[in-house]
Amino acid sequence: MLRGGSGMKEFDSGQAGMVNVREAAKILGVSTQTVKNYIYSGKLRSFRTSGGHHRIPHEDLTTLGFRELRPSRQELIESYDELYDSYVNTLRCLTSALDARDGISSGHSRRVANYVVSLAEVMGISWEEREAITLSALLHDVGKVLVSERILSKPGKLTDQEYHLIRQHPEMGEKIVNEVEVLKTAKAPIRHHHERFDGKGYPDGLSGEEIPLGARMISVAEAFDCITCDCTFQPKKGLDEAANELERHAGTQFDPDIVKIFLEEVVSKLRGRDIDQSGDTDFFHDGGRTGGVQHSGGSE
């Protein structure tokens, strides 16, 4: 068999003590790609089966000499980035499917996350906090997965019972992400993204800076996206109208400082070009029900 790389040899089916790439990665505590990189660079012996799969001598993973192959800091960073990107892309796919149930144009959650990223960069938020806020923005409506699609996409006025169910989605979202260790930092913004700056929001009636910063950012970004996108319950509006709506509710529904930054740094960059409705910008309710800026899914 032809050698596939400097560390690859023909596999003898009679050889014992062999492990595959996934098993080797588990033993070493690294990603499968890192193991393959070792093979391709010649640092690790690999035998190829007739099906083209790698088989690695177990003894090579446990000998003292192999300890020199401990992943470097750069390799660890690359492995983390690879896993994290895969994880976030999975979440994006899931939230896209959720958005499709919610009566708003595709990509809502992704666009909200992108707007929040832009805000965080301007506001000088630390990388760790920015990561948590971005995940919470992407998943802010995840609790709606437990709400009937009939209610979410209803074009007309909601009944009191339907509105009550809609209002529970922040709390349900918090419970969902609380079951995932890596998402626990996102639960507070998810729970509180429908609080109002004047204390008249839900679920806990927090006001001002009692509301987590991430939740205040999501509130502004989500309202803007809902205003500027086509929904089953309202037609989209232009940038000027959206900006006016945010300004009109600054200090009551929204944090006025965040509204100011959003208009100056995010909306200003959107002027002169179409808003990217796909959500790739790289990285509510009927006004007659409770008043305030109209939001998606017939709920605030």
Q: What are the domain boundaries of the chain?
A: 8-71, 75-298
Higher local confidence (pLDDT), 155 or 183: 183
What distance in Å separates the CA atoms of residue 77 and residue 83, rounded to the nearest whole number? 10
pLDDT at 74 over 70: yes
pLDDT at 299 over 60: no
Give the Cβ contact number of residue 104 at 10 Å.
27
Active-site hit among 144, 175, 236, 269: 144
Give the Cβ contact number of residue 194 at 10 Å.
25
pLDDT at 26 over 70: yes
8-10 vs 18-19, strand pairing mode: unpaired
Residue 299, token pair as written in the block? 């709920």
Confidence band (pLDDT; 50, 70, 90) for 55? Answer: confident
What digits encode the pLDDT tens for the residues 181-207? Answer: 888 899 999 999 999 999 999 999 999
pTM of the model: 0.66
Q: Which residues 6+ apart lie within 8 Å of 156 measured at CB?
A: 233
| CATH classification for the domain delimited by 8-71, as one of 1.10.1660.10, 3.90.550.50, 3.40.50.80, 2.60.40.10 | 1.10.1660.10
Residue 195, token pair as written in the block? 């609080």
Cα-Cα-Cα-Cα dihedral sign, residues 101, 104, 110, 115: negative
**Range of weakest confidence among 60-64, 80-84, 107-111:** 60-64
Question: Distance from first CA to last CA of the chain, Å, rounded?
Answer: 64
Q: At what angle do helices 32-40 and 73-99 cross, to 10 degrees?
A: 140
Q: Rounded to 5 degrees, what are φ and ψ at 152?
A: -60, -40
What distance in Å separates the CA atoms of residue 216 and residue 253, rounded to the nearest whole number? 10
- The reply to whether 144 belongs to the active site is yes
pLDDT at 104 over 70: no
Mean pLDDT, residues 256-278 taken together: 80
Confidence band (pLDDT; 50, 70, 90) for 25? Answer: confident
- Of all residues in the chain, the percent with pLDDT exceeding 90 is 38
CATH fold of 75-298: Hypothetical protein af1432 (1.10.3210)
46-48 vs 8-10, strand pairing mode: parallel
Q: Which residue has the tokens 């699609």?
A: 149
Side-chain-facing half-sphere of 195: CA atoms under 13 Å: 26
